[in-house]
């Protein structure tokens, strides 16, 4: 005799429940008649994203993540919830709710939680083991070079290589440049700054004397990504040359104000920006979409993934119109052969740096 499976028992329970709901009262009236056409609970897989403080709306990195998640949701028929806390404490509250939900989950709905902020790193690593015991809940932590010791997957898009390329090209546009960085502790920021500096100071061509300065907006990991307009205006008035704002929403504020003031010039960060001569691009939207597809597959997400310049998830774009006064100078110094050399050097140096 074949024993009933859990699903058979569940089906039998549902039948009994519907029969009871259709039962009659003492007076003979129907208490409730089950209707097969009534809306049913949505059991589609869900994706929840928890960002850093006020991260959404930065027209940059966080908004790209939002875009990638929503595009994947439309493609695969997923439910989404994207949470942008107004403070770190509120963000930790979201994380606490997430871990509690994972711990107490009693259904079979698949859920993916994406954490898109390094400011929660300690708390996340202390609690990620809860995902080990739940086959229906998964964790994706962006963007760290260090895998989680316990449950969950990690994704890292190194910026060293693309920034190295941009740094090597930048002196043609302005040999005086200032790096504006969120903080000295986030690995993606320090890697990007190191890459740009190494590329900028490398003598691929004899142009002119170079000057590179560095400014930090904050001291701790997860900070420096949102500043007031007044602070941004003060910094813009003090820094020399072209700015390279590797600081999330703070960078968008500076680029927006620079466009209004028509000064200073800047290097676009994370997204294609035709308002400037040079952009460094991070395709985090594509990377997140890739991970969601992996999560839904039979194989699942890898424990740790690194997708950088070699894999095509970061890159550089130059924007020069045919009537741009800098075009002849650019073509004189930056030949196709040199671009290829810089690109190959950047890939090799990125791999060495990340090791």
CA-CA distances (angstroms) from residue 102 to 4, 69, 77, 107, 125?
Answer: 28, 21, 22, 10, 15
Token pair for 140? 């994706």
Q: Where are the alpha helices (DSSP H) in the chain?
A: 6-21, 61-76, 88-104, 121-127, 160-169, 187-201, 229-238, 249-261, 284-296, 327-333, 336-354
**Residue-level pLDDT at 36:** 53
Contact by Cβ (8 Å): 255, 279: no
Contact by Cβ (8 Å): 159, 188: yes
**Residue-level pLDDT at 322:** 87
In order of their start, the domains of the chain are 47-157+286-306 (3.40.50.2300), 160-282+320-354 (3.40.50.2300)
For residue 141, what is the DSSP state? E
**Residue-level pLDDT at 60:** 87
Pairing state between β 314-318 and 278-282 = antiparallel
Burial class (CB in 10 A: 0-12, 13-18, 19+), 150: middle
CA-CA distances (angstroms) from residue 59 to 155, 184, 216?
Answer: 21, 23, 21
Give first-to-last CA distance, the chain, whole Å: 59
CA-CA distances (angstroms) from residue 116 to 81, 123, 138, 140?
Answer: 13, 14, 14, 9
pTM: 0.84
**Residue-level pLDDT at 254:** 95
**Residues forming beta bridges with residue 79, ordered by sequence position:** 46
In DSSP notation, 253-272 reads HHHHHHHHHT-S-B-EEES-
Q: Check the CA dihedral 222-226-230-235 and report its sign.
A: positive
Q: What is the CA radius of gyration of the chain?
A: 26
Q: Any idea which residue has 């059991």 for tokens?
A: 43
Which residues lie closer than 8 Å to 259 by C-beta, 6 or more apart? 275
**Residue-level pLDDT at 15:** 37
153: closest CA among 171, 123, 132? Answer: 132
Compute the distance between CA of residue 241 and CA of residue 190 in angstroms, rounded to an integer.
21
**Residue-level pLDDT at 289:** 98
Per-residue pLDDT of the chain (355 residues; tens, 9 = 90+): 333 443 343 343 333 333 333 434 444 444 444 455 555 667 899 999 999 988 998 888 999 999 999 999 999 999 999 999 999 999 999 999 999 999 999 999 999 999 999 889 999 999 999 999 899 999 999 999 999 999 999 999 999 999 999 999 999 999 999 999 999 999 899 999 999 999 999 999 887 789 999 999 999 988 999 899 999 999 999 998 999 999 988 999 999 999 999 999 999 999 998 889 999 999 999 999 999 999 999 999 999 999 999 999 999 999 999 889 999 999 999 999 999 999 999 999 999 999 8
The gap from C-alpha 317 to its chain's centroid, in whole angstroms, comes to 20
């Amino acid at each position: 005799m074949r024993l009933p499976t859990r699903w058979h028992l569940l089906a039998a329970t549902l039948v009994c429940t519907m029969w009871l709901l259709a039962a009659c009262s003492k007076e003979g009236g129907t208490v409730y008649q089950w209707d097969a056409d009534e809306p049913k609970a949505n059991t589609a897989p869900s994706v929840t994203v928890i960002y850093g403080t006020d991260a959404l709306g930065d027209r940059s990195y966080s908004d790209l993540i939002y875009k990638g998640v929503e595009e994947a949701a439309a493609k695969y028929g997923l439910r989404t919830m994207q949470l942008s806390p107004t403070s770190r404490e509120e963000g930790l509250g979201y994380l606490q709710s997430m871990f509690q939900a994972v711990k107490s989950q009693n259904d079979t709905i698949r859920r993916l939680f994406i954490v898109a902020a390094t400011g929660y790193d300690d708390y996340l690593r202390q609690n990620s083991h809860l995902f080990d015991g739940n086959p229906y809940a998964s964790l994706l932590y962006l963007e760290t070079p260090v895998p989680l010791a316990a449950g969950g997957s990690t994704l890292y898009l190194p910026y060293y290589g693309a920034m190295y390329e941009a740094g090597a090209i930048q002196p043609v546009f302005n040999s005086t440049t200032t790096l504006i960085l969120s903080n000295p502790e986030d690995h993606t920021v320090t890697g990007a700054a190191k890459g740009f500096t190494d590329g900028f100071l490398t003598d691929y061509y004899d142009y002119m004397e170079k000057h590179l300065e560095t400014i930090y907006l904050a001291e701790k990991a997860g900070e420096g990504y949102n500043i007031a307009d007044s602070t941004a205006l003060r910094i813009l008035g003090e820094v020399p040359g072209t700015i390279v704002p590797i600081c999330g929403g703070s960078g968008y504020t500076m680029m927006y104000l620079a466009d209004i003031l028509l000064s200073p010039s800047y290097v676009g960060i994370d997204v294609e920006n035709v308002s400037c001569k040079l952009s460094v691009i991070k395709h985090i939207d594509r990377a997140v979409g890739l991970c969601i597809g992996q999560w839904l597959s039979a194989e699942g997400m890898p424990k740790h993934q690194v997708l950088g310049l070699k894999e095509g998830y970061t890159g550089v774009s130059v924007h020069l119109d045919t009537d741009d006064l800098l075009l002849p100078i650019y073509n004189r110094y930056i030949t196709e052969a040199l671009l290829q050399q810089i690109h190959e050097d950047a890939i090799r140096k990125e791999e060495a740096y990340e090791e």
